[in-house]
Amino acid sequence: MAPSLEVSPDAVQDVLAHPLKQKPDLVAPEPEHCPGPESEQAGTADSCAGCPNQQICASAPKGPDPDIPIITARLAGVKHKILVLSGKGGVGKSTLTVQLAQAFATNPDTNVGVMDTDICGPSIPKMLGVESETIHVSNAGWSPVWAADNLACMSIQFMLPNRDDAIIWRGPKKNGLIKQFLKDVEWGDLDFLLVDTPPGTSDEHLSVNTFLKESKIEGAVMVTTPQEVSLLDVRKEIDFCRKAGIRILGLVENMSLFVCPKCDYESEIFRATTGGGRALAKEMGIPFLGSVPLDPRIGQACDYGESFFDAFPDSPASKALKGVVRRLAGEIGLDPREVVPEG
């Protein structure tokens, strides 16, 4: 029989109130990083040993990608390109991307685009209510799917024969599709292009950064939940951005509290044992954009492809999300009141 793990409530509270005072030091040396497929050392550097793409990189043409100037010209009408990153799955990255896009789109004078680079788990079309749409191809290129008059999106979901088909691709094929989303899609004139990314610091993230570097990424928004298990991976994502030269616009703590839809009572579902997102932002020296409560109506709105802001404009979560957007606008040098008007 397994031993009893019963612990007194007082002991549990003591642990939560007094987390580890000293972080563990890394014993192993930091690993070498990928030199990049454009490098002259691609496929031959010591850090390439054991990489599944080693042979591809070694045989690929060296030097800058000739398609980057085409991508830069295609995105000339996009004012602000913002990545949404986490490093951790399950923190509500795609949901927050949609909420940010819809919050920006509450201003009828603002045009917003969302690019779904989560190739194996595309969920943006479902959340925007355009899952059954398909891509229109013309002489100008691929046309994004418009979920509203001023909100467009592009995702691999629009290309699947059946909505439940799995995408079983290796890195090079994913990278090729991401390039097409940037090179072949007629995005037009947009105020904001939000790029939703999968968890991790791998192929998709490197590709987006490489393809957008010349057209100037505004920066990245980090998403976390309060518990330390989530913060561990977010620290790695912050480190990735700093090594890749991506400006960190700020950090959002998602699902920080549970807000009862009936009485607005707040309770902690995920206890911030080490201080949560606010403490992490202070520790890493990045802006804290705000906390968004866990409201089940956000999930319901995403399931039905509806705007949470239209359905529940006065909810605590709606107000918190608009506050995040205003602080984000301030970080990129815009007037927050013009981007998302009060009320």
Q: Which residues are annotated as a binding site for [4Fe-4S] cluster?
A: 34, 48, 51, 57, 260, 263
The tokens describing 234, both together, are: 């977010």
Residue 336 CA to residue 65 CA, distance in Å, equals: 37
Which residue ranges make up the annotated binding site for ATP? 87-94
Query: Which DSSP letter does residue 209 get?
Result: H
Write out the two tokens for 273.
């044992």
Annotated binding site: 34, 48, 51, 57, 87-94, 260, 263
Of the candidates 236, 249, 168, the residue with the CA atom closest to the CA atom of residue 205: 236
Residue 153 and residue 181: Cα distance in Å, rounded?
10
Strands (DSSP E) contained in the chain are 78-85, 112-116, 136-138, 141-143, 145-148, 151-154, 190-196, 219-224, 248-259, 266-267, 288-294
Integer Rg of the chain from CA: 21
| Residue 208 near residue 241 (C-beta atoms within 8 A) | no
Dihedral of CA atoms 6, 10, 12, 15 in degrees, nearest 10, equals -140
- DSSP character string of 1-45: -PPP----HHHHHHHHHS--SSPPPP-SPPPP----TTSTTTTTS
How far apart, in whole angstroms, are the C-alpha atoms of residue 240 and residue 246? Answer: 8
